[in-house]
Amino acid sequence: MSAQTVHIKSFGCQMNKLDTALVGAALKEAGFGFTDSVKEADVVLINTCSVREHAEERVFSHLGHLKHIKESRPDMLVGVIGCMAQRLGGELLARDEVDIVCGPAQIPQITGLITKTLQEKKKTLAVTEKIRQAAPENPALEEFESVYDSNDAQVPAQAYVRVMRGCDKFCTYCVVPYVRGPEVSRPPEAVIGQIKRLAGEGVKQVTLLGQRVNSYKYNTCGKTYCLADLLYMASEIEGIEWIRFVTSYPAEECYDEILRAMAELPKVCNHLHLPAQSGSDKILKAMNRNYTASKYLELLDKARDTVPGIAIAGDFIVGFAGETEKDFQKTVSLVEKARYKNCFIFKYSPRPGTTADKRLQDTVSIEVKKRRNTELLAVQERISDELSKRFLGKEVKILVEGLSKKPHLNSAKGGKKPDLCSKNGDLRPQLVGRTETDWIVVFNGPESLAGEFAEVKITRTRPLTLFGELARKD
């Protein structure tokens, strides 16, 4: 068994990245090796995402590629894990190239599932039958989370820590409640214990993860712990310097406490990801989002009043069922007022099994969705550009992530030469890091800075990226 090599490909959100890291750690402990090459792997795992149609299409395309490889290497085992596995179950297993289908709740069992499938040479299906009725406590999950800590190998000194799973919100377009099950929060002592161990291993920044992280709630010893309590407790851990949390739902519950913790605790990064999805009350209602555009803006005002300098990121869906031009203009207006640092904008595509898919007609044509997407991106780009220019000439503290994956160009209009050397002939590699407020910073410096804090003087900006020169290492 120890000679078996695994290739893992991950699609989707940070939650999936964390699952991939956990699976990798579990397989490593069980004696598996790893390879970057699909062609050399004995086992190929695909961690999937069902949130958008496009993400599923990419998985199917990848499976087609694997089918081709499997024709010449029939012993190669292919496992599909995560949200698509839960959503499609037996349908995926029926494909010639797929040997294992494993839902998010069964991921802690992945090592055993692979071993069993290899030994018995039979296909294996492991998904939750009635996911909304799954037990509120999952002992296997607790054990898995606490045994296998997860440094994201690609980003030194940083780690994700899941504080809860699932979602009870049922936004009408979203598949998450059907594939990830009900909300389950981890006990605070398990979360804090994990962060302490990570700090002991050199982790400096933790990101607390939850589908609706601000709804974290755990009753124990006569007290109800909320996310703010976790932030206070995590702040006391020596070695941890920055704490982030994603993703928040725009709700008042626990909001004041969380903002107060952000304002009071220097270690908690002043960055809030608060998806709005639409600026039209009619569309928000159709999405079952439980707030109005003005209520949402009030939440932003409160965040800015309580936490000066806070940077806010948003999410929007354009072209949702029934979205008229007037509705869309209300979204544009909300983006103008919100002054986000950045926004994630998606074109609506109905997800099978969701309420919107079953009850609402997908009325907006793809051409109109594309046009609204481009228009909204342009509005946000202008705002991001204005905000980024405020950094010119200033020094910012960043946590260095490592080598920049894509070479950034010298000219804001897209010069030809990658920025691999600066004007003064600096031949050091191009590195990337992030500020506390989540601005991406690109600069030249030694690769050894990865995982370290540094100060960078900003000399040039683009809407989503700041460029600068290394001022000093902290």
Which one, of 119, 118, 126, 76, lies nearest residue 96 by Cα? 76
Helix axes 188-200, 139-147, angle to 10 degrees: 20
Assigned token pair, 447: 């690769």
Q: How far is the CB of 167 from ligand SF4 (least distance, A)?
A: 3
Residues contacting ligand SF4: total by CB under 6 A: 10
Q: Which stretch binds ligand SF4 (CB under 6 A): 171-179, 188-196, 424-432, 451-459?
A: 171-179
If the CB atoms of residues 46 and 287 are measured against ligand SF4, the closer one turns out to be 287
Alpha helices in 74-152 (DSSP H): 83-88, 90-93, 110-120, 139-147
Q: Which stretch binds ligand SF4 (CB under 6 A): 4-12, 118-126, 162-170, 201-209?
A: 162-170
Q: Angle at Cα 206 formed by Cα 289 and Cα 449, nearest 5°? A: 130
Q: How far is the CB of 171 from ligand SF4 (least distance, A)?
A: 3
- Cβ contacts of 452 within 8 Å, gap of 6 or more: 157, 399, 400, 473, 474
If the CB atoms of residues 205 and 211 are measured against ligand SF4, the closer one turns out to be 211
Position 171 contacts ligand SF4 (CB under 6 A): yes
Helix axes 255-264, 227-235, angle to 10 degrees: 20
Q: Which stretch binds ligand SF4 (CB under 6 A): 54-62, 168-176, 316-324, 360-368?
A: 168-176
Position 172 contacts ligand SF4 (CB under 6 A): no
Q: How far is the CB of 211 from ligand SF4 (least distance, A)?
A: 4
Contact positions with ligand SF4 (CB under 6 A) in 29-48: none
Ramachandran class of 204: left when φ > 0, alpha when ψ lies in -120 to 50, beta otherwise: alpha
- Cβ contacts of 135 within 8 Å, gap of 6 or more: none
If the CB atoms of residues 248 and 388 are measured against ligand SF4, the closer one turns out to be 248
Position 177 contacts ligand SF4 (CB under 6 A): yes
Q: Tell me if 441 sits within 8 A of 456, measured CB to CB.
A: yes
Q: How far is the CB of 19 from ligand SF4 (least distance, A)?
A: 15
If the CB atoms of residues 144 and 249 are measured against ligand SF4, the closer one turns out to be 249
If the CB atoms of residues 46 and 246 are measured against ligand SF4, the closer one turns out to be 246
Q: Which of 77, 174, 303, 454 binds ligand SF4 (CB under 6 A)?
A: 174
If the CB atoms of residues 174 and 231 are measured against ligand SF4, the closer one turns out to be 174
208 forms beta bridges with: 161, 245
Q: Residue 177: helix, strand or coil by DSSP?
A: helix
**Could you tell me how far CA 150 lies from the centroid of its own chain?**
15
If the CB atoms of residues 11 and 249 are measured against ligand SF4, the closer one turns out to be 249
Q: Which stretch binds ligand SF4 (CB under 6 A): 76-84, 172-180, 263-271, 375-383?
A: 172-180
Q: How far is the CB of 255 from ligand SF4 (least distance, A)?
A: 15
If the CB atoms of residues 253 and 447 are measured against ligand SF4, the closer one turns out to be 253
CA–CA separation, 426 and 229 (whole Å): 46
Q: Which of 94, 170, 290, 395 binds ligand SF4 (CB under 6 A)?
A: 170
If the CB atoms of residues 79 and 181 are measured against ligand SF4, the closer one turns out to be 181
Binding mask 200-229 for ligand SF4 (x = CB under 6 A): -----------xx-----------------
- Strands (DSSP E) along 5-42, which ranges? 5-10, 33-34
CA–CA separation, 85 and 62 (whole Å): 14
Q: How far is the CB of 210 from ligand SF4 (least distance, A)?
A: 9
Which one, of 377, 406, 401, 382, lies nearest residue 451 by Cα? 401
User: Which DSSP state fits 312?
Assistant: E
Which one, of 240, 248, 209, lies nearest residue 18 by Cα? 209
**Could you tell me how far CA 218 lies from the centroid of its own chain?**
23
Q: Residue 314: helix, strand or coil by DSSP?
A: strand
Q: How far is the CB of 345 from ligand SF4 (least distance, A)?
A: 15
Q: How far is the CB of 325 from ligand SF4 (least distance, A)?
A: 24
Q: Angle at Cα 345 formed by Cα 341 and Cα 349, nearest 5°? A: 165
Q: Which of 218, 225, 249, 467 binds ligand SF4 (CB under 6 A)?
A: 249
Which one, of 402, 415, 405, lies nearest residue 446 by Cα? 402
Which one, of 48, 36, 99, lies nearest residue 73 by Cα? 99
Assigned token pair, 111: 């090592």
Q: Which of 43, 80, 164, 176 binds ligand SF4 (CB under 6 A)?
A: 176
Q: Which of 9, 169, 337, 389 binds ligand SF4 (CB under 6 A)?
A: 169
Q: How far is the CB of 103 from ligand SF4 (least distance, A)?
A: 16
If the CB atoms of residues 199 and 213 are measured against ligand SF4, the closer one turns out to be 213
Contact positions with ligand SF4 (CB under 6 A) in 433-472: none
- Cβ contacts of 119 within 8 Å, gap of 6 or more: none
If the CB atoms of residues 164 and 269 are measured against ligand SF4, the closer one turns out to be 164
Contact positions vs ligand SF4 (CB under 6 A): 167, 169-171, 174, 176-177, 211-212, 249
